Amino acid sequence: MSPPTENAPGSEQSLHASQAQLSLYARDLKAVVAAEQEKSQALEAANHQLKVYARDLRAALEAQRCKTNDLENAYLDSVRRLILASQYKDEETGAHIVRLSHYVKALALHLKWESSAVDLLFAAAPMHDVGKIAVPDAVLLKPGPLDKGEWKVMKGHTTYGASLLQGSSSPLLELGREIALNHHERWDGSGYPSGLRGEEIPLSARLLIVADQYDALRSERPYKSAFDHPHARHIILIGDGRTLPQHFDPDVLQAFNDIGPQFEAIHARRGTRSVLSGIKFSDHAGIVRALRWGEEPCPTMGKPYRTREAASPLRHDHRARG
């Protein structure tokens, strides 16, 4: 048995001191752990509450979106009916606006527009002549030349259309208003109603005027026969004294030249189809998807309705005006 060392009492005191210190550490650590547990519980409670708030907010936003969609659908239905009414006033309008949507879509795709913007333009293009609903039949359907006063009234269809479509927060209706107001403006400033020049003219309208002019040249009128594609193309690209290439945005004109065969095919394929069979303007879910740039339609909207095609009771032999 080894004899006790001389410093054994001191070692024992040191051990007691260490144990006391460790006890303090343990107590402090326990307090820290308890505090952290309280913080963790508080964070979990806050996180749960935030999830509840987020769920309620999503529900409120969805309800508001559905309400907005319902209002937009009601307004869009009114616009659709105005376009249909314009078809009854002008037999050519129905097939014309179908073709126009496809012409501008082809141009926009060639110019590398984003697909959502192309879809919006496709849906808005039929609104370009909605203002003709306000033009008297005596002017709109007159088979002979318009006098100065009648021509002034006819030009007013641009501002009439813009007035019908203004004041909406809908991107679709705003684009329709932009097109209705500006689709007769010319690159060289000789157009109407404002005499805008160059890039002052919205790009949507710069596409529309090329498509509109092409289709007018391809269409039969009391005062002229329908031109074939090569003739219409020549007039737009070279000019005939009345229509001049400087009327059009050079980039859009080049795009038209590049995809001329597509224009010819669209006219051949859609020459006799009604507006209601050519575009899904009565498909409310589709319109809302265009309006919302890709969002899913509101689940409470219901099914798209179908409208029966009807032949126009008006059988006038007249020219398309404006």
Q: Greater confidence, 81 or 194?
A: 194
pLDDT higher than 50, residue 53: yes
Q: 88 falls in which pLDDT band (50, 70, 90)? A: low
Q: 147 falls in which pLDDT band (50, 70, 90)? A: very high
Task: Tell me which residue has tokens 């991107």.
Answer: 171
At residue 98, the pLDDT reads 85
User: Counting Cβ atoms within 10 Å, is residue 241 exposed (0-12), middle (13-18) or buried (19+)?
Assistant: exposed
Q: How many residues does the structure list for the chain?
A: 322
At residue 200, the pLDDT reads 98
Mean pLDDT score across all residues of the chain: 79
pLDDT higher than 70, residue 273: no
Q: Greater confidence, 73 or 234?
A: 234
Rounded to an integer, what distance in angstroms lies between the CA atom of residue 87 and that of residue 130?
Answer: 10
Q: pLDDT tens digit string along 189-231?
A: 999 999 999 999 999 999 999 999 999 999 887 667 899 999 9
Give mean pLDDT, residues 255-273: 87
Q: Greater confidence, 160 or 74?
A: 160
- Smallest CA-to-CA distance from 172 within 69, 83, 287 is with 287
Judge contact between 264 and 229, C-beta under 8 A: yes
pLDDT higher than 60, residue 83: yes
Secondary structure, 3-state, the chain: CCCCCCCHHHHHHHHHHHHHHHHHHHHHHHHHHHHHHHHHHHHHHHHHHHHHHHHHHHHHHHHHHHHHHHHHHHHHHHHHHHHHHHHHHCHHHHHHHHHHHHHHHHHHHHCCCCHHHHHHHHHHHHHHHHHHHHCCHHHHCCCCCCCHHHHHHHHCHHHHHHHHHCCCCCHHHHHHHHHHHHCCCCCCCCCCCCCCCHHHCCHHHHHHHHHHHHHHHHCCECCECCCCHHHHHHHHHHCCCCCCHHHCCHHHHHHHHHCHHHHHHHHHHCCCCCHHHHCCCCCHHHHHHHHCCCCCCCCCCCCCCCCCCCCCCCCCCCCCCC
Residues 6+ apart with CB under 8 A from 66: 298, 299, 300, 301
Q: Check if 132 is active-site.
A: yes
Q: Greater confidence, 75 or 41?
A: 41
* Percent of the chain topping pLDDT 90: 42
Write down the pTM of the prediction: 0.66
At residue 183, the pLDDT reads 98
Q: 265 falls in which pLDDT band (50, 70, 90)? A: very high
pLDDT higher than 60, residue 99: yes
Judge contact between 258 and 110, C-beta under 8 A: yes
| Domain ranges within the chain, ordered by starting residue | 54-291
Q: 34 falls in which pLDDT band (50, 70, 90)? A: confident
Lowest mean pLDDT among 155-169, 273-287, 300-314: 300-314
Superfamily of domain 54-291: Hypothetical protein af1432 (1.10.3210.10)
- From the candidates 89, 105, 132, 155, give the one annotated as an active-site residue: 132
Rounded to an integer, what distance in angstroms lies between the CA atom of residue 260 and that of residue 110?
Answer: 11
